[in-house]
Amino acid sequence: MAGHLIAAGYTTYLHSVGGLPDTLLQAGGIACKTSAEVAAQADIVILMVPDTPHVEAVLFGENGVADTLASGKVVVDMSSISPVATKEFAKKIEALGADYVDAPVSGGDVGAKAASLTIMCGGKESVFERVRPLFEKMGKNITLVGDVGAGQITKVANQIIVALTIEAVGEALLLASKAGADPARVRQALMGGFANSRILEVHGERMIKRNFAPGFRIALHQKDLNLALSTARALGLSLTNTATAQELFNACASHGGEAWDHSGMVRALELMANFEIGQSA
């Protein structure tokens, strides 16, 4: 994502606790030692980290963005985190005279590399329009959903749909394979009908070929479904099938699968069936 901004001619200041890829530095990215240094230099500060505590640390921790953030700048959080915490972070940033947009993404590493991410945004329309040109270098489907926090709620909804569709595809291919049908041909047939989806196309193939290298790790999807379930509890909702999907992810994690691609959820179904997709019945 940073590479696309550099390629588009934006002066791009970079900081990562895991170290910066040489490719970004060779392309013209400018290394910074801290988040505070990035915020001091850049007019628009973009975060992309795993979870809510990481965003809080980058923004308000030692040498954080808030230490050097000046009035008139914009903070854009493209992580997938708590909608409730997002609103609190935004209030603190706005109290410093800066603006805040939450803009989580969907599309995985493939979408990031291809600049085809779906970007779901929450914030003021005027601020969204200011940062939209940057989003257009990273994604294709870019939507301002509502006020701050609306982007995170949309991402949670996205992750519910993705998890339940992975589960449905896994059950369908497992049933077909156990019944003696060729799962690859079943998938091919289904892709021509109403059951077709990107998950059937991409993750169905992963299940058949037994390719569970991430991708999008199960541990991250567990985090997102925890956000869905905790938000639902706060709203007095019951998300029964989301809870079931989370338990399947939990089963995978208990078998050492936290780092599997989330399509690996099918392994939990296979364990219960004592049968793997593609196995001879």
Residue type, 104: P
| Residue from 73, 61, 9 nearest 35 by CA | 61
Instruction: Extract the tokens encoding 68.
Output: 């050097």
What are 46's strand-pairing partners? Answer: 76
Q: Which helix (H) or strand (E) holds 44?
A: strand 44-47
The reply to whether 91 belongs to the active site is no
Rounded to an integer, what distance in angstroms lies between the CA atom of residue 29 and that of residue 202? 33
The CA R_g of the chain, rounded to the nearest whole Å, is: 20
State the DSSP string of 84-99. HHHHHHHHHHHHTT-E
| Residue from 165, 153, 146 nearest 237 by CA | 153
The single residue of 91, 92, 124, 155 carrying the catalytic annotation is 155
The set of catalytic residues is 155
